[in-house]
Structure 1
Amino acid sequence: MREVWEETGIKAEVIDMSGIYTDPGHVMLYDDGEARQQFTICFRARPVGGDVRTSNETTQVRWVAPADLSELDIHATMRLRIEHAMDRTRSVPYIG
């Protein structure tokens, strides 16, 4: 909820978890020698307030209709997360 607010200006309420993602073959190497394997927990949420805005971590924020997603240049791993989040049969209860 904090990240959504900080990066988009939208206040959100978590409904449930839509997926947990990791890929041992996807390792990020940093200039200082640090290596990280990405691990992501994605939540489905609904907006409950706020005003859309950008931040120092976002260049553009806007609502997009699901039918228009195919027109956007979205990395395959992010597209998978979006598809899973929109698939209500994949709901995992969230106790927060």
Structure 2
Amino acid sequence: MVPSVNVVVANGSGEILLIRRTDNDNWALPGGAMDLGESLPAAAVRETLEETGIDVEVTGLVGIYTDPRHVILYTSDGEARQEFSVVFTARPLGGVPTPSAESREVHWVSPERIGELAMHRSMRMRINHYLTGGGTPHLG
């Protein structure tokens, strides 16, 4: 089990920052594993900058996701991990959307267009919790 983060970054127009992942070609929120000696909010800021080129400030919590049936198999090294992800909200401070080794595309996407994008069901659920949650964190 490795603690990880995802980040819902919304701009002033309400668009959400999404990446198109290089490993599976799905669209996703920026995020990744927490490093040793790092806090979860610091991991959220670092991962967002690394994957998108956008510097952010964490502003809140969408939820905590620990579904024991959601096991992620990493084909690069064969490692299997049970989901343990904290999803934060953040506001952009600066930067330009820029792809990385983990993101082939980076775009601001309107909530209306998100349904059109290829995305893992767990990622879609996190975004839907953000869009419909009313500020109450999801715990589960």
TM over 0.5: yes
- Percent identity reads 50
Give the C-alpha shift of residue 34 in structure 1. Answer: 4.4
The answer as to 2:98 corresponding to 1:17 is no
Structure 1 spans left out of the alignment, 5+ residues: none
For the residue of structure 1 that corresponds to 2:124, the secondary structure is: helix
The answer as to 2:117 corresponding to 1:75 is no
Structure with max Cα Rg: 1
Give the C-alpha shift of residue 10 in structure 1. Answer: 0.4
Tell me the residue number matched to 1:43: 88
Structure 1 Cα separation of the partners of residues 125 and 72 of structure 2: 19
Change (3 A) 1:29 1:77: closer
For the residue of structure 2 that corresponds to 1:90, the secondary structure is: coil
Give the C-alpha shift of residue 63 in structure 1. Answer: 0.6
Structure 2 Cα separation of the partners of residues 44 and 37 of structure 1: 23
For the residue of structure 2 that corresponds to 1:24, the secondary structure is: coil
Tell me the residue number matched to 2:24: none
Tell me the residue number matched to 1:89: 134
For the residue of structure 1 that corresponds to 2:68, the secondary structure is: strand
State the TM-score, normalizing by the size of structure 2: 0.59
Structure 1 Cα separation of the partners of residues 83 and 62 of structure 2: 17
Tell me the residue number matched to 1:54: 99
State the TM-score, normalizing by the size of structure 1: 0.83
Tell me the residue number matched to 1:64: 109
CA-based RMSD of the aligned residues comes to 1.9
Tell me the residue number matched to 1:27: 71
1:22-77 CA distance string (max 9 Å, x none)? 21112234576643211000001111101110111111101101111111111111
Higher share in helix: 1
How many residue pairs match? The answer is: 92
